[in-house]
Structure 1
Amino acid sequence: MNENFEDQEQVLDTVRRFERMVANNEPVFFDLADFESIIDHYTSNTHYEKALQACEAAVAQYPFSTELLIDRAQVLAMKGEYVQASEQIEAVAQLDPTNPDVAVTRGIIATQKGDFAQAVDFFRAAAESAPDRDDIYFNLGLAYQSWQKFKSAAKYYKQSLRLNPDNDIAVQELLYCLEISERLEKNLEFFRRFTDDDPYSTTAWYNLGQAYYRAGNFEEATAAFEYAILIDAKFYDAHGFLASTLVSQEKYREAIAEFQLSYEEGQPTPEALCNIGECHEKLAEWDEARKNYQRAIDLDQTMDEAWFGIGIVLNAQERWFEAIHFFRKAVALYDESVEYWLALAAAEYQVGAVVSALECYDKATQVGPDNKDAWLNWSIILYEQGDFDGAIDLMRNAVEVQPGEAELHYRLCAYLLAAGRYREAYENLENALVLDFDKHRLLFEYFPELESQRALARLIDQYRK
């Protein structure tokens, strides 16, 4: 793993040198392998503009390199410039028709355009002429995954990993496909086989740990990550994953120690600091939590999780006005989080900003319509404000979005009863009782005075098993 780490450092040095030369308008000279590394680095990090810039500089220096012209076509495809990408690869096909990368690039263009059947045909043709190339099987997996054919995708990701077990992206995509097709448990043996074949491979243990972690087998995941670390104490990612596994088991104190080993000494990452902050938060160590969240923000102003974390700490200390500032910052950085909107809404309500709270709940239900708390908490404010009709309408909306959620039906029934609309209330109560009889107790939690209603008790008794 250290070797791998040194390789990465070398690539980053080359990339930095390239960027300096471009920034200073100096002539850019690199050997072919260095240009390949620079382009690969940018595409791996989805920096396609920079990748194209590197391609142009490389082609200017090596105009007859088919490898670079192919890279250029692939980068253009990733940028969505399909016409130019196709023109470029067809020009290469004229020069070198048997090059498997011509078929691969045609496949990449087809995948990007959403022509998945065609993409698969191109990649299969490429695999026939170059059966030992893991990247071709990886692209086949990607095409099937984009096509929502997760079983076939998993098959080709596995093939890719048999040829190159070090491809971490292939591991992540394979785990995702197995998870979404609910076949992860059945496939743990695939990951175990790598550790059997090479018990001293840090990558094999690390990948096995990730598979166990995703399957929720935290004890086995812990053991696998510990093996990886035993072989290579500076395997930072393994320390990070071991820490996350300990968090899943609520072992926060141990997790903090592991997160502190998940980066080079004296060079903490914003992610690690944020995770350490969260562990302190779970232990109700507010000052330590806030300190680590703040350090994460100092390193990366865009770390929405850290802004949110400080909000949670202040919220727990009932410092709502201050919390609002941090929740707003988190939401501004990432407005697709239901959790952020709910926290901001609750804090706004605590300080009496009812209109702002309602707006935040509205936003939360747009972002996560299947989050029942967003609907329930929003409706409670309307009910408390005496807007029974508003609360009823809102719950009707919620029930339409989540018809199988009994709690929403019970709440709708309660509001209808409070508004004196008994016939509608009983109709909804019947739906709720059919969905989940035991939750009828919620009605009396919302409104204890309902226990004395005879008609209600009779209706509930009819549904008693």
Structure 2
Amino acid sequence: MNENFEERQQVLDTVRRFERMVAQNESVFFDLADFENIIDHYTTNTQYDKALQACEAAIAQYPFSTELLIDRSQILAMKGEYSAAAKQIEDVAQLDPTNPDVAVTRGIIATQKGEFAEAVAFFHDAAEHSPEREDIYFNLGLAYQSWQKFKSAAKYYKMSLRLSPDNDMAVQELLYCLEVSERLEKNLEFFRRFTDEDPYSAPAWYNLGQAYYRLGQYDQAVAAFEYAILVDATFYEAHAFLASTYVSQEKYREAIAEFNLSYSVGEPTAEALCNIGECHEKMAEWDQARRNYQRAIDLDPEMDEAWFGMGVVLNAQERWLEAAHFFRKATTLYNESVEYWLALAAAEYQVGNVVSAVECYDRATQVGPDNKDAWLNWSIILYEQGNYDGAIDLMRNAVEIQPAEAELHYRLCAYLLAAGRYREAYENLENALVLDFDKHRLLFEYFPELESQRALARLIDQYRK
């Protein structure tokens, strides 16, 4: 893992040098292997525009490199420029018809276009000619996974990993496919085999740890990550995962210690600082939490989780106006989080910005229509303002989207009763009682005065088991 880390650092240095030269408009000169590393770095991080830019610079320098022309075709496919990608690979096929990468690239283009059967055929063709290439099996896995055929995808990810056990992307995709198809526990043996074959392989223990972690078997995960670290003390990802496992066990002190070991000495990452902030937050150590969140923001101003964390800390201290500022920033950085919109709505409401709160709840229900709290909290505001009809309409909407959520039916019933619409209220109460009888207590939590309503009590008694 040390070698891997050093290699990664060298690649990052090369990437920085390339970016500096581009920014300063200098003529860029790198050897072919360096260009391949730069392009690979960008594609791995899905920065396809930058990858294409690096590819064009490389082709200008090495115009006869088929590898670069193939890279160009694959990047165009990733960007969704399928006809340009297809034209490029057909040009390569004219020059070098037996190159297995021609079939691989055709497969990648077909996968991107959603033509999965064709993609699989291309990859199988490539695998026949180059049975030892792990990337071909990895691409087969991706094609099957995109096709929602998780069992087949897992099979090919495994084949890829047998050839290259250190491929972390293959591990992540395999774990995902096994989890989705609920076959992870049955496949633990696959991960254990690597540690049996090579007990001194840090990546093998790390991968086994991740499998245990996903299964919620935290003690075994801790043991596996500790083995990985024992073999390689600077295996930063293993420290980070061990820390996350401790978080899942609510062992926040141990987690902080491990997060502090998850980066090079004196070079903390924004992610580590944000995680440390969250651990302090869980222990209600507000000052340390804020300090770490702030340091994370200073390092990476685009880190929405750190802005949100700051908001949570201020919110817990009832500093709602300041909290709203941080929550708002989190929503501008990542506007698809229901959690962010709900937090911002609640903070706005505490400050007295009712209109803003309603807008935020509206946005939350758009982002996560199946989040019942968004509907319930929004409806409470309308109800408190005496807008019973608005609250009722909102709950009807919610019930339509989540018909099996008893709490929504009970709330609708309560609002109908408050509006004096008894017949409709009782109809909805019957639905709620059938769905979850025990939750009828919620009705009296919302409106204690309802306990004295005889008709209501009689109706509830009819459904008592």
Counterpart check, 1:287 vs 2:287? yes
Normalised TM-score (structure 2): 0.98
The CA deviation string for residues 200-224 of structure 1, in whole angstroms up to 9 with x for no partner, is: 1100111111111111111111111
Aligned-partner SS, 2:443: helix
- 1:15-30 pair list within 5 angstroms: 15-30=15-30
Shift of 1:14: 2.0
Higher mean C-alpha displacement, 44-53 vs 232-241 = 44-53
Deviation at 1:17, TM superposition (A): 2.5
Tell me, in whole angstroms, the C-alpha distance in 2 between the residues paired with 1:29 and 1:382: 64
Output the amino acid matched with 1:434: V
2:438 corresponds to which letter in structure 1? Answer: D
CA distance in 1, matches of 2:336, 2:363: 9
Aligned to 1:65: 65
Pair 1:399-2:404 in alignment: no
Aligned to 1:109: 109
Segment of structure 1 superposing worse, 285-294 or 189-198: 189-198
More deviation, 150-159/116-125: 150-159
In 2, Cα distance between equivalents of 1:185 and 1:456: 48
1:128-167 → structure 2 map (5 Å cutoff): 128-167=128-167
Normalised by the size of structure 1, how large is the TM-score?
0.98
Q: CA deviation at 1:94?
A: 1.3
Work out the number of aligned pairs and report it: 465
Write the mapping of 1:240-259 to structure 2, written as runs, cut at 5 A: 240-259=240-259
Q: How does 1:29-48 map to 2 (within 5 A)?
A: 29-48=29-48
1:410-455 Cα deviation digits (max 9, x unpaired): 1111111111111111111111111111111111111111111111
1:39-438 alignment, distance < 5 Å: 39-438=39-438
Q: Secondary structure at the match of 1:131?
A: coil
CA distance in 2, matches of 1:385, 1:30: 67
Identity %: 85
In structure 2, list runs of 5 or more residues that go unmatched. Answer: none
Q: Distance in 1 between matches of 2:235 and 2:410?
A: 52
The CA distance in 1 between the partners of 2:326 and 2:39, in whole Å, is 38
Whole-angstrom CA distance in 2 between matches of 1:285 and 1:145: 43
Shift of residue 462, structure 1, vs aligned partner: 1.3
- Cα distance per residue 1:225-263 (max 9 Å; x no partner): 111111111111111111111111111111111111111
Between stretches 70-79 and 55-64, larger displacement belongs to 55-64
Q: How far apart in 2 are the matches of 1:90 and 1:188?
A: 42
Whole-Å separation in 2 of the counterparts to 1:446 and 1:61: 72
Instruction: Report the AA paired with residue 135 of structure 1.
Output: D
- Specify whether residues 190 and 391 from structure 1 end up closer, same or farther in structure 2 by C-alpha distance, changes over 3 A only: same
Cα distance in 2, alignment partners of residues 113 and 6 from structure 1: 37
Where 2:63 maps in the other structure, the secondary structure is coil
Question: What's the offset of the Cα at 1:305?
Answer: 1.0
Deviation at 1:63, TM superposition (A): 2.1
Unaligned 5+ runs, structure 1: none
**Deviation for aligned residue 1:61:** 2.3
Cα distance in 2 between the residues matched to 1:385 and 1:51: 54
Deviation of the 1:409 alpha carbon: 0.6
| 4+ residue runs over 6 A deviation | none
How far has the Cα of 1:342 moved from its partner?
0.8
How far apart, in 2, do the equivalents of 1:92 and 1:71 lie?
Answer: 11
Q: Give the aligned CA root-mean-square deviation in angstroms.
A: 1.2
Which string of whole-angstrom CA distances, capped at 9 and with x for unpartnered residues, describes residues 108-140 of structure 1?
111111111111110111011111111001111
Distance 2:269 2:231 in 1: 23
Question: How far apart in 1 are the matches of 2:415 and 2:65?
Answer: 73
Question: Matched residues in 2 for 1:15 and 1:378: separation?
Answer: 48
